[in-house]
Amino acid sequence: MSPRPGTRTRWPRVPPAWRRRGGDAGRSADLEHAVRGQLTVLIGELELVLGRDEVPAAQREASARRATDAAWAIENMLAGTAAGTGAGPPLPGQPSAPTGRWRRLRSLSLTTRFTAVAATLIVAIGLLVNQVTDRTLQDSALADEAAFASNTVATRLVPFLRAADLEEALSGPRFAEIDRRIQEVARDDPDRVGIVLWRADRTIAYSSDSQVIGRQAVDDDELVAALAGVAQRETKPARDAEIRLDRAGLARVMEVYLPLRLDGTRVNGVFEIYHDPTHSDRRVAEADRQISRVLFAGLGILLLVLLVVVRGASAQLRRQSEQLVAIESRREADRLQTEFVGVVSHELRTPLTALVGFSELLLTRDVPEANRRQWTELLHSGAERLRHLVEELLDVTRIGEGGMEVRPAPMDVADAVRDTLAAYGPVPAHVQLVNSVHPGQLPLVLADHDRLVQILTNLVSNAVKYSPGGGRVEVLARVAGSGLRLSVTDEGLGITSDELPRVFSRFHRIDDENRRGIGGTGLGLYIAQQLVELQGGTMSVDSPGIGQGSRFHVTLPLQPQRRA
């Protein structure tokens, strides 16, 4: 009855619906549903046992068994008997990763987890107590029976039966003495006791109770065997007993058939002692049932209290953590927003200053033609910067909403590099911009030309921007594995290893003395990386360190066929 590992494999641990549905969310919902189902069975069975005064032992056992099964099913589902834990064979449709167990556990609500654990504990403890009391009952009944049969009867009664035969022993003045002794023995015994003396012809010669003297036994194998000289012992339900004790509430009868040898050799008859071990058992059983009832009720209450407490605690925890998360994310959002507004307003103000300033100059001053052209160009340049900034902001919004579109097609990256550098404005005199990607020399990639130009423009612009001391800015490409790696390298400020993982984060800008005053929104690399990934590529960065330049790499998937 106690839970044992062997029972685990017998229960359907993975609900079919769970197997069918994909995704963690569906799986955890199904798992939770299945666990709740088993919990209903478990609690129902417990209530069944608890709610009745007289639960037949068989039914109690069956209920307990079903409750245990349900508890095991829950345990199994929770544990998932994840392959590799050694707890059981791997389950179909279940991930074999050892982390699966914890992910699924975590996916259940705290309440469900606690309910399952508490219920499993209740059943386990209840069954343990049951088993112990069962064994105690059995042992004590057997001991009683043995003591009664062998000692009491034999030592106290047989000496009074000394006679030539049973009829002689039970006749005359000795009968009263024997009957008195027998009644005394019966009365002294803690069990309800009856004594019958059978004749060799299997009729009743004497009964301590209301049995009919002279009644013939029918098909009583034990009696026959005892008459043949072999003592017998039998326990049977009262309704099946040969001898019906006229007492209410008799459940089981223990019968002992002792061959009666009045002369010490021949079997003259059989001494049947029957008693009702359930009479004494019943006292134990009643106590046991009381204990069980109190135990179950207590544990039930404990479970309820636990549920209430856990539910309350988890709700509170959830509320608190939600509040914390909300506060944290609001703080972070606020911080980012403040930073973003600061950066954007700075970035906006610069081109805006140029627009306002140059348009005012053109409108209010009598400007020589040479200046007019130059200022108009600068005005245009400011407008372009403003447009670029707005584009960046729109790109970020589009990426955030999943509305960014890319149309990859077979292309030579050299075309994109050429177009990038051709459209790139004048570079400072101390920066040497080198194109090392030559057309027709590399396999075609699958990429969106315009987006790739946008990405490269950003990378080249960064390389130039962060090379205030000048140096070489180079665009290179080579085949790397199943992709083509485009790199933009510079000899500029470089990036510390701490900063490397964060350079692609939205709004992130490296804040150091050298970079102060270098404009940027912290959006360019974020957008570039998102664009690369949308095209099935990857983006990475490395830098030997501060003052030693940076290398940004874009790896794009090759077109399946290579250029001839």
Pick the closer one to other proteins by CB: 29 or 378.
378
Pick the closer one to other proteins by CB: 253 or 354.
354
The nearest distance, CB 473 to other proteins, in angstroms, is: 17
Amino acid (one-letter) located at 32: E
User: How is 229-292 classified by DSSP, letter by letter?
Assistant: T--EEEEEEGGG-SS----TT--EEEEEEEEE-TTSSS--EEEEEEEEHHHHHHHHHHHHHHHH
Q: Per-residue x/- mask for other proteins, residues 457 to 476, rule CB under 8 A?
A: -----------x--------
Q: For residues 417 and 427, what is the distance between their CA atoms, to the nearest angstrom?
A: 16
Residue 371 lies near other proteins (rule: CB under 8 A): yes
Span near other proteins by CB under 8 A; candidates 136-144, 271-279, 301-309, 380-388: 380-388
CA angle (312, 318, 320) in 5-degree steps? 100
Pick the closer one to other proteins by CB: 398 or 515.
515
The nearest distance, CB 378 to other proteins, in angstroms, is: 5
C-alpha 490: how far from chain center: 50
Contact 552, 474 (CB under 8 A): no
Tokens of residue 43, six digits: 């609690």
Among 17, 361, 404, 411, binds other proteins (CB under 8 A): 361
Strand partners, 477: 486
The nearest distance, CB 461 to other proteins, in angstroms, is: 14
Pick the closer one to other proteins by CB: 93 or 428.
428
Residues that bind other proteins (rule: CB under 8 A) add up to a total of 32
Q: For residues 484 and 531, what is the distance between their CA atoms, to the nearest angstrom?
A: 16
Pick the closer one to other proteins by CB: 221 or 377.
377
C-alpha 539: how far from chain center: 36
Q: Per-residue x/- mask for other proteins, residues 382 to 421, rule CB under 8 A?
A: x--x------------------------------------
Q: For residues 78 and 303, what is the distance between their CA atoms, to the nearest angstrom?
A: 18
Q: Which of 244, 266, 268, 269 is nearest to 255 (CA)?
A: 244
Pick the closer one to other proteins by CB: 329 or 353.
353
Q: Strands 431-435 and 471-480: what pairing?
A: parallel
The nearest distance, CB 367 to other proteins, in angstroms, is: 9
- Whole-Å CA distances, 545 to 157, 467, 551: 107, 14, 11
Span near other proteins by CB under 8 A; candidates 212-220, 323-331, 381-389, 550-558: 381-389
The nearest distance, CB 383 to other proteins, in angstroms, is: 11
Pick the closer one to other proteins by CB: 129 or 336.
336
Tokens of residue 118, six digits: 């508490």
Coil, strand or helix at 146: helix
Q: Which of 535, 531, 493, 525 is nearest to 512 (CA)?
A: 493
The nearest distance, CB 330 to other proteins, in angstroms, is: 23
* 274 C-beta neighbours (distance < 10 Å), count: 27
Assign residue 480 a region: left if phi > 0, alpha if psi is -120 to 50, beta otherwise? beta
The nearest distance, CB 375 to other proteins, in angstroms, is: 6
Residues 330-359 that bind other proteins (CB under 8 A): 342, 345-346, 349-358
Pick the closer one to other proteins by CB: 311 or 515.
515
Pick the closer one to other proteins by CB: 109 or 381.
381
Q: For residues 556 and 487, what is the distance between their CA atoms, to the nearest angstrom?
A: 11
Residues 482-541 that bind other proteins (CB under 8 A): 513-519
Q: Residues in the site for other proteins, rule: CB under 8 A?
A: 342, 345-346, 349-358, 360-361, 364-365, 371, 374-375, 378, 381-382, 385, 468, 513-519
